[in-house]
Structure 1
Amino acid sequence: MYRKSKSNGKATYDLREVVTNIKWSTDLNFSAGELTFDLIQNAHPIIPYTGDIITFRWDHYKIFYGYVFKYEVKEDNTVSVTCYDKSRYLKNQDSIVWQSGTIADRFNNVCKRAGIKHKVVDKPTHKVSAEVCDGKTYFDMVKSAIVKTRTATKHMYYIYCNYDVVELRRAPYKKLKIIIGSKSAMTGFSYAVDINNTANVVKVIQKDTKKSQAKSATAKQDDPKRTSFKSTSAAGKSTEQWGKLQETVNKKNKANHAQMVKQAKDELRKKNRANKELTIDCIGHIDLVAGNAVTIKINDLGKTLKNCPILKAEHNFGTDYNCHLTMKVGAEWLGNS
């Protein structure tokens, strides 16, 4: 690990002999890659100041290139440091009117505005409609296009910082050939299933309001005498097992009855499934990062989950190099779309 100072003539400091508790995290949910570590030093600690560049390699592999965003000097001269990679600058806010275009069009645009080195690894062809983004982060602007593209094409794209280059990738970027199993690399697991956010009945609502002759400057409220609702719904067979779990959505603008039926079925298809989340503790491997997929074999549950998507990965480097993985079981890649 090395630190390059911006304030001291770009001097470079070797931190390998004093660094400990190195933790690297990657996350699909539109947040920058994070590196945290402690510096154990004597009476006059070398402090990496905010904005300094930190580079980290493991077994000669380039792992992290980023910037100090926080440091804390403790009484025993330990310095705790938090760094983020270049994608952190996609948290910058802006106001942009987007014309119709692809995710790549937005991605290239916001990266240029943020002044970060970038690359489109997997180029999408689907174009999303024009959109006004007022006071939104660059992450949110790209996320909007990613969600719309996934809805239309079932293809999941994401942002990943590959050392010092921010990339637009399609998931899964790699289907790893390794198998993490109860009798091999796995050291612990948790498998959770819930239906808290599930819906097996979806109603698409159309609100009709008759116009009133009276006019008022006060805030408008729906008048029960002049308001009525029409709806169409779609239901899944899981009502027999889970009971009726109903959700309502407003109809799309100017949608006719057939389009309302399609909207209900499309929403049901997304909502009528249990949420399954798997966390794994395992021996460390540098390819176990967010956006890749790996096969998991859990003998205790009698399950083999092929190409299970990694939503979040935490790497703890040291003599006992290990990983903690948060994974999604099933087709859904983006955790909070």
Structure 2
Amino acid sequence: MTISKFIIKRRTTNDSWDVRSLVLPPKWTTDTTYEAGELSFELLMIDNTFIPQMGDAVYFGWNGNNVFMGYIFSAEYSKDNKTISCVAYDKLRYLKNQDSIVWPVSTLSQRFERVTKAAGITHKVVNNSTYKLKTEVADQKTYFEMLQTGIENVLSATGTRYYIRDNYGTVELLKAQQTQTDLILGDASLLTDFNYTQSIDQSANTVKVIREDKHSKKRKVVTYDEKTKKKKTKTETTSWTTTTVKHADSADHIKQWGRLQIVEKADNDMNDAQMLTKAKQLLREKNKISQTLKVTAIGLLGIRAGTSFYFRSQELKTFGFGQKLVFPTKVTHTFDPNDWTMDIEVLI
């Protein structure tokens, strides 16, 4: 295992430097939570023959495989250690650019195409999305924020998870299902350590969706019980406004956890049926235990953020793990020729 490529190239000229003999073990981090891929590395300073500049392109390969292509965004010079510590980001970094866009009814794929073109980055729609997103005003938002809104709305409406990644210089839109693998991490298979956490701190078992009407003095409350699948309606008189409320809850989890309630404001043009559908959607998303799994394992290039794999642990059978498909949201590879490791955070 070795660094097979580490080239730094000046974007304004044709000058380039092969710095494989100067670089210490680099770290490569990929993240599906709307952060750019990052390569952090240190260069030995020898006779000041080469000093990287902001914006220099970085090309990194490992064992003959192209791994990272990006640009230097920061450098720290240490006289004592005689090193230069650099951080380079892939092209997803340019999705932090801000813009103001009035979105018409359009698909996630169409919005992805538009913002990547506006950011001036090479891109590809690997998996097309046909779900129509409603009109929206995105004022002084980053391209990441615009895509995040679209991705979350598609997931909520269709159950299909999309994500974006940089594939060695090409930014791609993919379905999570597209990058699912048969790889197994766990007992006797690459795993060296793990940490598993459960929490209901951000959960909710009661959801209210509210629509206000200032021209009336009545409030309609519609309650939906997930257990009985029954809906109950009552009307209340108030002194200030008419508020239509759609309410969904889980009786079993209220009994087990206590009442954990959130409130969502509905658009003025939402009818009662749409409000109830929204309440049910939010309840499905929030009415569950949050599970966090952090894994340390022997390095494998087939695993990066967004590439699903199977996790297996006899110790976690009590929590429902025998063998479970997991979605890594963040992966950090440390490319030490003597000890290549990866730290993984997964969504369960």
Distance in 1, matches of 2:137 and 2:211, equals: 25
In structure 2, what residue type is equivalent to 1:298? S
Which piece of structure 1 moves more, 253-262 or 34-43?
Answer: 253-262
2:245 alignment counterpart: 231
Q: Please point out which of 235, 260, 269 is paired with 1:254.
A: 269
Contact 1:233 1:264 in 2 (8 A): yes
Deviation >4 Å, runs of 4+: 227-230
Contact 2:96 2:143 in 1 (8 A): yes
1:292 alignment counterpart: 307
- Please state if 1:245 is matched with 2:260: yes
Q: Please point out which of 153, 156, 166 is paired with 1:151.
A: 156
1:160 alignment counterpart: 165
Contact 1:181 1:296 in 2 (8 A): yes
Over the matched positions of the two proteins, sequence identity in percent amounts to 37
- Please state if 1:6 is matched with 2:24: no
- Please state if 1:36 is matched with 2:32: no
Distance in 2, matches of 1:111 and 1:226, equals: 46
1:169 alignment counterpart: 174
2:98 alignment counterpart: 93
Q: Please point out which of 334, 340, 345 is paired with 1:316.
A: 334
Q: How does 1:1-337 map to 2 (within 5 A)?
A: 1-7=6-12, 9-44=13-48, 46-75=50-79, 76-209=81-214, 225-227=239-241, 229-236=243-250, 237-302=252-317, 303-318=321-336, 319-329=338-348
Contact 1:45 1:77 in 2 (8 A): no
Distance in 1, matches of 2:334 and 2:213, equals: 57
Distance in 2, matches of 1:95 and 1:194, equals: 37
Shift, 1:193, TM fit: 0.5
Distance in 2, matches of 1:230 and 1:114, equals: 42
How many residue pairs get aligned? The number is 317
In structure 2, what residue type is equivalent to 1:166? V
Shift, 1:206, TM fit: 3.8
In structure 2, what residue type is equivalent to 1:142? L
Structure 2's unaligned 5+ residue stretches are 1-5, 218-237
1:333 alignment counterpart: none
Distance in 2, matches of 1:45 and 1:192, equals: 49
Shift, 1:173, TM fit: 3.1
TM-score by length of 2: 0.86
Which piece of structure 1 moves more, 146-155 or 65-74?
Answer: 146-155
Distance in 2, matches of 1:95 and 1:44, equals: 44
Which piece of structure 1 moves more, 287-296 or 94-103?
Answer: 94-103
Shift, 1:43, TM fit: 3.7
Contact 2:326 2:347 in 1 (8 A): yes
Distance in 1, matches of 2:155 and 2:246, equals: 25
Task: Map Cα deviations across residues 86-140 of structure 1 (whole Å, 9 max, x no partner).
Answer: 1111111111122221111111111111111111111111121222211111111
CA shift in 2, pair 1:124/1:266, >3 Å: same
Distance in 1, matches of 2:244 and 2:163, equals: 38
Shift, 1:257, TM fit: 3.5
Task: Map Cα deviations across residues 24-59 of structure 1 (whole Å, 9 max, x no partner).
Answer: 000001111100000123342522110111000011
3-state secondary structure, aligned to 2:132: coil
Supply the RMSD in Å over aligned alpha carbons: 1.9
TM-score by length of 1: 0.89
In structure 1, what residue type is equivalent to 2:30? T
Distance in 2, matches of 1:98 and 1:230, equals: 28
Shift, 1:208, TM fit: 4.6
Shift, 1:229, TM fit: 4.7
CA shift in 2, pair 1:47/1:296, >3 Å: same
Contact 2:216 2:242 in 1 (8 A): no
3-state secondary structure, aligned to 1:44: coil
In structure 2, what residue type is equivalent to 1:190? N
3-state secondary structure, aligned to 1:149: helix
Distance in 1, matches of 2:140 and 2:48, equals: 44
Distance in 2, matches of 1:96 and 1:207, equals: 28
3-state secondary structure, aligned to 1:39: strand
Structure 1's unaligned 5+ residue stretches are 213-223, 330-337
Distance in 1, matches of 2:156 and 2:183, equals: 30
CA shift in 2, pair 1:232/1:174, >3 Å: closer
